[in-house]
Amino acid sequence: MQDLADQPMALVASPTPVAQAAERMLRKRYEFVPLAEADLVVALGGDGFLLQTLHEMLHREKLCPVFGMNRGTVGFLMNEWRLDRLRERVGNAKLFSVAPLRMVATTVKGETLTNPAINEVSLLRETRQTAWIEVSVNGRVVLPELVCDGVLVATPAGSTAYNLSAYGPILPLASKLMALTPISPFRPRRWRGAILPDDLKVSFRILDPEKRPVSAVADQMEVREVATVEVTVDRSRALSLLFDPEHALDERISMEQFAV
C-alpha cells in the first residue's frame, strides 16, 4: 500500500465545529483534489460520518479507499486524529475490504426499494404492537413466527454496533459470516440468533403488516410498512478502509470480545 502515499487525495469533513477546524488545518498543510479526481479519501468526523461517506462512495463508479480520522465521539471505525505525517500514515496503512449488504424491501403497497448497508439491516416494529416475522434462509423457512421488537442482519464490520447492543455475536472481520440477531424476542423465547455464511440469502415476511407494521432500515435509510425484505451480501461493491497498523480494525473487533 506504499504507493497510496503518492495518490491524489480528497478531504471530506463532518459539519461539526471540531471536524471543520481539523479540515482547515489539514488544508493548510497538504494538497487535496476534488472528490471526483481522487484515488483516496480522507474523512474527518465520527463513525456516522464515515458511514455516510462510504454510502456516497457506493454511488460512484470509482471506489476509493477511505482513511478516516476521529473528530467525532466514539470513532470505532476511525483512526486517531493527528495533523502530522498524513502521507506517511496513508502509505503504511493496512487495507480492509468491507462488502456491504444489499437490502431489497417490498412495501405493503407493492413498491420495491433497494438500499445498501455497511453495518446492518434491521427490521423494527413501528407501533406498540410486537412484530410477527417469518424468517427464511436460502428459501427455507427457519422460523415460522418470530414475535419480537425486531430482527437484524449484521456484517462483521457492523457486528460491534447495533448487533452487539442486541446481544448478537462479534464476528471477525475476515470471517465471511453474518449475524442474524433478534431484538427483544418474545417467541421463541430461547432463540438468541444465528451465525450464517455470508453467501446465503436471508428473507423476512411480515405476517400481519396492517395491525403490526414493520419498518426496514439499511444503516440510516428507512423503508416503512414493509411486507417482505431480502438481505444478501453484495461483493461487487466491496469498499476499502485504511487503518494505522497499530490501530487495525480486525484486532479492534476481536478485542471487543474482552471489553468490560
Task: Give me the residue spans of the domains in the chain.
Answer: 2-99+238-258, 101-236
What pLDDT was estimated at residue 140?
98
- Asked: is 2-99+238-258 a CATH 3.40.50.10330 domain? The reply is yes
What pLDDT was estimated at residue 249?
82
pLDDT for 17 beyond 60:
yes
Q: What is the rounded distance in angstroms from the CA atom of residue 226 to the CA atom of residue 108?
A: 6
Q: Report which of 116, 67, 57 is spatially closest to residue 95, judged by C-alpha positions.
A: 67
pLDDT for 3 beyond 80:
no
pLDDT tens for each residue of 42-98: 999 999 999 999 999 888 888 899 999 999 988 888 999 999 999 999 999 999 999
What pLDDT was estimated at residue 6?
84
Indicate whether this model's pTM tops 0.85: yes
Residue 135 Cα to chain centre, angstroms: 21
Binding residues for NAD(+): 47-48, 119-120, 149, 157, 160-165
15 burial type by CB count under 10 A (0-12 exposed, 13-18 middle, 19+ buried): exposed
pLDDT for 131 beyond 90:
yes
**All 3 cell numbers of residue 126?**
413501528
* CATH class of the region 101-236: mainly beta
What pLDDT was estimated at residue 1?
41
Query: At 113, is the pLDDT very low, low, confident or very high (cuts 50, 70, 90)?
Result: very high
198 is catalytic: no
Out of 3, 47, 199, 219, which one is annotated catalytic? 47
Binding residues: 47-48, 119-120, 149, 157, 160-165
